[in-house]
Amino acid sequence: MRGLAAAMGVQPATVSLAELATRRPKVERVVPGEGEWHPSLISPFTVYEFKKRRPLVTLDHHYVGAYVTGQDAVARYQQSMNQLAAKRAWGEATSRAVIAKAAVSLESG
Protein backbone atom coordinates (compact mmCIF):
# COMPACT_ATOMS: atom_id res chain seq x y z
CA MET A 1 0.00 0.00 0.00
CA ARG A 2 2.96 2.36 0.40
CA GLY A 3 3.28 2.62 -3.39
CA LEU A 4 -0.42 3.39 -3.76
CA ALA A 5 -0.30 6.09 -1.10
CA ALA A 6 2.80 7.65 -2.65
CA ALA A 7 1.27 7.57 -6.13
CA MET A 8 -1.86 9.28 -4.86
CA GLY A 9 0.17 12.30 -3.77
CA VAL A 10 1.61 12.97 -7.22
CA GLN A 11 -1.47 12.37 -9.38
CA PRO A 12 -3.97 15.04 -10.42
CA ALA A 13 -6.92 15.20 -8.04
CA THR A 14 -9.33 14.28 -10.83
CA VAL A 15 -7.68 10.90 -11.44
CA SER A 16 -8.67 8.19 -8.98
CA LEU A 17 -6.43 5.30 -8.02
CA ALA A 18 -9.05 2.89 -9.29
CA GLU A 19 -8.87 4.57 -12.70
CA LEU A 20 -5.06 4.43 -12.67
CA ALA A 21 -5.24 0.69 -12.02
CA THR A 22 -7.04 0.21 -15.35
CA ARG A 23 -4.79 2.34 -17.59
CA ARG A 24 -2.39 0.85 -20.09
CA PRO A 25 0.42 0.39 -21.14
CA LYS A 26 1.62 0.72 -17.56
CA VAL A 27 1.76 -2.74 -16.01
CA GLU A 28 1.23 -3.06 -12.29
CA ARG A 29 1.74 -6.47 -10.71
CA VAL A 30 1.33 -7.07 -7.01
CA VAL A 31 4.03 -9.09 -5.26
CA PRO A 32 2.64 -10.69 -2.08
CA GLY A 33 4.61 -9.88 1.07
CA GLU A 34 4.35 -13.36 2.55
CA GLY A 35 6.54 -16.29 1.59
CA GLU A 36 10.24 -16.33 0.98
CA TRP A 37 12.47 -13.26 0.81
CA HIS A 38 12.53 -11.10 -2.32
CA PRO A 39 14.28 -7.77 -3.13
CA SER A 40 11.22 -5.54 -2.82
CA LEU A 41 10.89 -6.47 0.87
CA ILE A 42 13.94 -4.28 1.58
CA SER A 43 12.62 -1.30 -0.32
CA PRO A 44 9.82 -1.07 -2.88
CA PHE A 45 11.14 -0.16 -6.31
CA THR A 46 9.76 0.65 -9.72
CA VAL A 47 11.55 0.09 -13.02
CA TYR A 48 10.59 2.58 -15.72
CA GLU A 49 11.39 1.53 -19.27
CA PHE A 50 10.98 3.98 -22.16
CA LYS A 51 11.03 3.67 -25.93
CA LYS A 52 13.50 6.51 -26.55
CA ARG A 53 15.31 6.89 -23.21
CA ARG A 54 17.42 4.76 -20.96
CA PRO A 55 15.54 2.96 -18.17
CA LEU A 56 15.61 4.20 -14.60
CA VAL A 57 14.58 2.89 -11.19
CA THR A 58 12.85 4.68 -8.34
CA LEU A 59 13.35 3.51 -4.77
CA ASP A 60 10.65 4.27 -2.22
CA HIS A 61 11.02 4.70 1.50
CA HIS A 62 8.51 5.92 4.03
CA TYR A 63 9.91 9.48 3.98
CA VAL A 64 12.28 9.72 1.01
CA GLY A 65 12.74 8.37 -2.50
CA ALA A 66 15.66 8.08 -4.89
CA TYR A 67 16.30 7.65 -8.59
CA VAL A 68 18.81 5.10 -9.86
CA THR A 69 20.15 5.81 -13.34
CA GLY A 70 23.48 3.93 -13.49
CA GLN A 71 23.00 1.23 -16.09
CA ASP A 72 24.72 -1.53 -14.08
CA ALA A 73 22.45 -0.87 -11.11
CA VAL A 74 19.36 -0.52 -13.31
CA ALA A 75 20.21 -3.86 -14.95
CA ARG A 76 20.23 -5.53 -11.52
CA TYR A 77 16.80 -4.12 -10.70
CA GLN A 78 15.51 -5.22 -14.10
CA GLN A 79 16.79 -8.73 -13.36
CA SER A 80 15.10 -8.68 -9.95
CA MET A 81 11.89 -7.41 -11.53
CA ASN A 82 11.94 -10.18 -14.12
CA GLN A 83 12.52 -12.82 -11.44
CA LEU A 84 9.68 -11.43 -9.33
CA ALA A 85 7.38 -11.32 -12.34
CA ALA A 86 8.21 -14.92 -13.27
CA LYS A 87 8.09 -16.47 -9.79
CA ARG A 88 6.25 -14.34 -7.24
CA ALA A 89 3.98 -11.67 -8.70
CA TRP A 90 0.28 -12.18 -9.21
CA GLY A 91 -0.99 -11.94 -12.78
CA GLU A 92 -1.87 -8.59 -14.28
CA ALA A 93 -5.66 -9.07 -14.03
CA THR A 94 -5.51 -10.18 -10.38
CA SER A 95 -3.11 -7.36 -9.52
CA ARG A 96 -5.35 -4.74 -11.15
CA ALA A 97 -8.36 -6.07 -9.23
CA VAL A 98 -6.46 -5.95 -5.92
CA ILE A 99 -5.21 -2.40 -6.65
CA ALA A 100 -8.70 -1.23 -7.63
CA LYS A 101 -10.22 -2.72 -4.47
CA ALA A 102 -7.54 -1.12 -2.29
CA ALA A 103 -8.02 2.22 -4.08
CA VAL A 104 -11.77 2.21 -3.46
CA SER A 105 -11.11 1.44 0.19
CA LEU A 106 -8.52 4.25 0.50
CA GLU A 107 -10.65 6.79 -1.35
CA SER A 108 -13.84 6.04 0.58
CA GLY A 109 -12.08 6.57 3.88
Residue boundaries of the structural domains of the chain = 2-28+39-107
| Crossing angle of the two packed helices 2-10 and 92-107, in degrees rounded to 10 | 70
**Exposure string for 20-33, b = 16+ CB within 10 A, e = fewer:** bbeeeeeebbbbee
Which tens digit of pLDDT belongs to each residue from 68-96? 999 999 999 999 888 888 888 888 888 88
State pLDDT tens for residues 10-32.
444 444 556 655 665 666 778 87
Question: 51 or 17, which is more confident?
Answer: 51
pTM of structure: 0.61
Taking the C-alpha atoms of residue 26 and residue 10, their distance in angstroms, rounded to an integer, is 16
